[in-house]
Structure 1
Amino acid sequence: MNQNSYIPFGDLKGPRLIFAAFVLALANFMVVLDMTIANVSVPHITGSLAVSSSQGTWVITSYAVAEAICVPLTGWLAGRFGGVRVFVVSLIGFTIFSVLCGLSTSLEMLVFCRIGQGLFGGPIMPLSQTLLMRIFPPEKQSQAMGMWAMTTVIGPILGPILGGSISDNMSWHWIFFINIPVGIFCALAALRLLKPAETAISKIKIDSIGLFLLIIWIGALQLMLDLGHENDWFNSTLICALAIITVVGLIVFIIWELTERDPVVNIQIFRYRGFTISVLSLAFAFGAFFASIVLISQWLQINLGYTATWAGYLTATMGFGSLTMSPIVAKMATKYDQRGLACFGLMILAVVTLMRSFWTTDADFMALALPQILQGFAVPFFFIPLSNMALASVQPHEMASAAGLMNFLRTMAGAIGASIAVTLWDDHAKVARSEMVSNLHVNEVQNTLMQKGMSSESALAYISSLVDKEALTLSANHVFFILSMIFVFAALIIWLCPKPQKGVGGQPIH
């Protein structure tokens, strides 16, 4: 389809077009939600299946690994079998594995079914984006992307709330069962509405060596990120081995894909400067954004005694701003320089994250919620323009591959950002604690507490608890400062992009 001579597919216009867009956005929302819905439910799952909490994290990581492997394959799958066909099959497979996850009676079965969920869920995100771009005329594509971006931003916010509430009040099995009606509805609606918008197919051979290398290096990277913290990172032989496999695997994979005639991942797309810079800025920003969400949730629960559900509620205060601003920003993206919009949003996120670096252990709900509310208004300003610029930079026939690569890099950036932030938080807390202890006159404080009726042991325990809390808060502040600098960096590099045309449509930018 030529972007400049748009012809509606079948009768996909008016209400039917809006309904088709809603179905695509809802399918994307379901998959994004599943990334975070299990996070706060791990204690319930491990208790129910009688396994350790470190084993329970495989419920999250198995899904992430499988999804990360499948997302870049989207371009090849769409070219070989057709975008709409792959989208519908992915929805059906995702729904079936959601049922099996909910019925799991052992950790092994649950992890296996989560891998299945990830494999089928991977293509849904980039294909929902590609099909939205395909069914809308160029002048409306930016607003369609606004609707899509809204679901991508709100999914991780609602995930912890839903996961916590369902696990606390019903059973962890229901966090998977809630996908069933949504999956069935989206699959049937897509079959009915999107058939005329099917993409062209050709007999492309599978790049089996490229696929094998992709699985090896992503698997090794994800395992390194998951196991690194508890194995003391590079002091562990296992982590060093995984790091070597990741680096060597990635280098061999890139060389192979650049020389392969039909690559499983089209790395050639990085030849477009607009795509490369937009995706790089998006990856840095999303890595810092996701890291802050994970860090806030953990700090609230460990330090301030918030329940998982209440930590989720606080995180969700940014949902209002995101919902309000997404359609407005999508409209602004058709009139103003999208680099300016993205830079504005990222600078607001930098300021908000800097505000967090002054948090204290006695902060009340509103003091904690204010940066979240402001962040909500800023998120669409970076997310929508960067997604628009990246996809507007490539040729129409490369759209599926570009969307797959963009979503893959964003997903991996989120995982890497969260892992590094938690490690920095823990390591700096130890440094902060030792500094505080060296400056603290423990005996004097202990004697004062004992005079107020405390025993010697309970006074020491009380002092230790206070020092731990303050050390964790100082460390969190330190990490928030670093994250704010990452947002500034992402805001500045976006100006290296060529000036985009207004909106998503128009000629590709090289």
Structure 2
Amino acid sequence: MTAAGGRGERNPWLIAIVVSVATFMEVLDTTIANVALPYIAGGMAVSADEATWVVTTYLVSNAVALTASSHLAKALGRKRFFLICLALFTGSSILCGLAWDIRSLLFFRILQGLGGGGMVPVSQSILADAFPPHKRGQGFALFGVAVVVAPVVGPTLGGWLSDNFSWHWCFLINGPIGLLSAALVSIVVEETPALDGATRFDIVGFVLVSTFLGSLEVVLDRGQIEDWFSSSFILAFAAVGALAFTLMIPWEARHESPVVDIRMIATRQFGSCFFVMMAIGAILISTTQMLPQLLQLNFGYTAMLAGLVLSPGGLVTMGMMFVVGRLSGRVQPKYLIMIGAGVVALSMYNLTSLYGDLDFWFFARSRIYIGMGLPLIFIPITAASYNGIPPHKTDQASALINVARNIGGSIGVSLAQNVLAHRQQFHMSRLAEATIPSNIAYQDALRRLTDYFVSLGSSASVARRQATQWIGRQIETQSAMLAYIDVFYTLMLLAALVIPLAMILRRIPLGAPAPAAH
């Protein structure tokens, strides 16, 4: 089947809606479980550290499935493979909700990640073939809603389900949605036949790529918890991942049918798209995690209220997706991406003006600005990544773009948490330098605070201790605030780096049907 195959027979918008619903469900599960971890730990009588493996196992198996999705979609046909992945994801989601201990839950999360990892790139390939090249931006608008809005909805929905029902519903909710999606996909999506040569599976490449991506996910997800390279556990996974990467590059570069065609990343167009998508994944996932964390730990927000801060931005993103989808057929992708990166960078800069008395709407407005900028990057870069790609390589392109988004998200969260931890220590030590006997301003503040606690009824010695503790808490709070500011400066620079990458992109035909590349 050609890239155009089936366009006149099936409504592409109906196809876009159907596959985007399934994609939304899968991407939602990357964040919905995060806020449920304390409930899972309590319900299964395990430590908080053990409960975090619920997230890690999903990310690792998801990355492994991404690498094999291109070959399996060709060997089985996209529709058949998509339905198998959807069935595996839905069934394992139900089993996660019915898990009887932590081991069974982790096993079912591995299965869930395998199903989800194969589903998302194939949905992109289905969309790429359903729409003609000059209208792909509009089709990817729906897909963009799923990928960009789902991580925002996840924490809010997960917190609400855990608070009002139980953590089990974070997984059980996928059951009816998955069954409905499977029925719609079987009716609406047209099958593609297996392609010639699809049975020649690069097993060595699959093992090397899976080992590298799996090890990388473990290092990034567990690094902060295990204290990075001071841990033999992290060192072991880093060494295995580095070895796999070293062997993977020459093997995949020379193989006739590589499981991951890394030669595509070396091209000007696709390589730029790959690294821009990594940056977008980093910014999207890290801000989605860091902002609620800041609000809960430093501003006293509940999990539900912190999640609601993200909601206005999610609504703006949904609206912008369709606006940008229309613009993408009229404006060169590189210009939309540059504008979007500028908006995101400015939104990150806005968040650097943190102080203790900021209200709900300051943070909500910041998310609105981010929600305006991300669609200007995501839709054009997704559409541009298929420009010049032969039809038989669209599955490879989909897999690589999703690998970029997933790795970028993991790197972004890991980078943000690492910057936060180290800069908080730095600021705390600098602020603590002022609390010395020779500092007249400190001694004056300590005396006035002591007098205040004495006026409340404390003895002089107790009041002195209370005053010292109060100052210590203020140092801790202010150092955390300054560290978050450093995190947002880091993400601002990351967004700014997208601009020169976008300038590398080639101009593409606009406004009229373009022939598929061959």
TM over 0.5: yes
Q: 1:479 aligns with which of 475, 479, 487?
A: 487
Q: 1:463 aligns with which of 463, 471, 476?
A: 471
Q: Deviations over 1:432-462 (max 9, x none)?
A: 0111111245544333222123533333322
Show the 5 A alignment for 1:105-504: 105-197=100-192, 200=195, 202-440=197-435, 442-452=442-452, 453=456, 455-456=462-463, 457-502=465-510
Contact 1:134 1:197 in 2 (8 A): no
Contact 1:34 1:159 in 2 (8 A): yes
Contact 1:9 1:197 in 2 (8 A): no
Equivalents in 1 of 2:517, 2:187: separation in Å?
Answer: 34
Q: State the shift of 1:229 in Å.
A: 1.3
Q: Deviations over 1:162-217 (max 9, x none)?
A: 00000000000001011011111111111122234556465523222222222322
Q: State the shift of 1:278 in Å.
A: 1.4
TM-score if structure 1 supplies the norm length? Answer: 0.95
Q: Which moved more, 1:34-43 or 1:134-143?
A: 134-143
From the superposition, tell whether residues 460 and 505 of structure 1 become closer, same or farther in structure 2 (CA, over 3 Å). Answer: farther
Q: Which moved more, 1:24-33 or 1:353-362?
A: 353-362
Contact 1:272 1:509 in 2 (8 A): no
Q: State the shift of 1:123 in Å.
A: 1.3
Q: Which moved more, 1:101-110 or 1:356-365?
A: 356-365
Q: Among the aligned pairs, what percent are the same residue? A: 30
Contact 2:216 2:241 in 1 (8 A): yes
Contact 2:41 2:48 in 1 (8 A): yes
Contact 1:500 1:509 in 2 (8 A): no
Equivalents in 2 of 1:364, 1:25: separation in Å?
Answer: 35
Equivalents in 1 of 2:373, 2:513: separation in Å?
Answer: 24
Contact 2:67 2:209 in 1 (8 A): no
TM-score if structure 2 supplies the norm length? Answer: 0.93
From the superposition, tell whether residues 410 and 304 of structure 1 become closer, same or farther in structure 2 (CA, over 3 Å). Answer: same
Q: State the shift of 1:9 in Å.
A: 5.3
Contact 2:64 2:213 in 1 (8 A): yes
Q: Deviations over 1:81-120 (max 9, x none)?
A: 1111100011011111001100012111111100000001
Equivalents in 1 of 2:512, 2:70: separation in Å?
Answer: 20
From the superposition, tell whether residues 352 and 509 of structure 1 become closer, same or farther in structure 2 (CA, over 3 Å). Answer: farther
Contact 1:301 1:308 in 2 (8 A): yes
Q: Which moved more, 1:254-263 or 1:195-204?
A: 195-204
Equivalents in 2 of 1:196, 1:82: separation in Å?
Answer: 6
Equivalents in 2 of 1:244, 1:202: separation in Å?
Answer: 34
- Name the Cα RMSD after superposition: 1.9
Equivalents in 2 of 1:258, 1:384: separation in Å?
Answer: 29
- Residue aligned with 2:385, SS: helix
Q: State the shift of 1:293 in Å.
A: 2.0
Contact 1:210 1:264 in 2 (8 A): yes
Q: How many residues were matched structurally?
A: 505
Q: Which moved more, 1:429-438 or 1:447-456?
A: 447-456
- Residue aligned with 2:30, SS: helix
Equivalents in 2 of 1:188, 1:223: separation in Å?
Answer: 35
Equivalents in 2 of 1:199, 1:300: separation in Å?
Answer: 50
* Letter in structure 1 aligned against 2:379: I
Contact 2:317 2:371 in 1 (8 A): yes
Q: Which moved more, 1:135-144 or 1:305-314?
A: 135-144
* Letter in structure 2 aligned against 1:12: R
* Letter in structure 2 aligned against 1:449: L
Structure 2 unaligned spans of 5+: 436-440
Structure 1 unaligned spans of 5+: none
Q: State the shift of 1:370 in Å.
A: 1.3
Q: State the shift of 1:224 in Å.
A: 1.5
- Residue aligned with 2:36, SS: helix
Equivalents in 2 of 1:353, 1:479: separation in Å?
Answer: 9
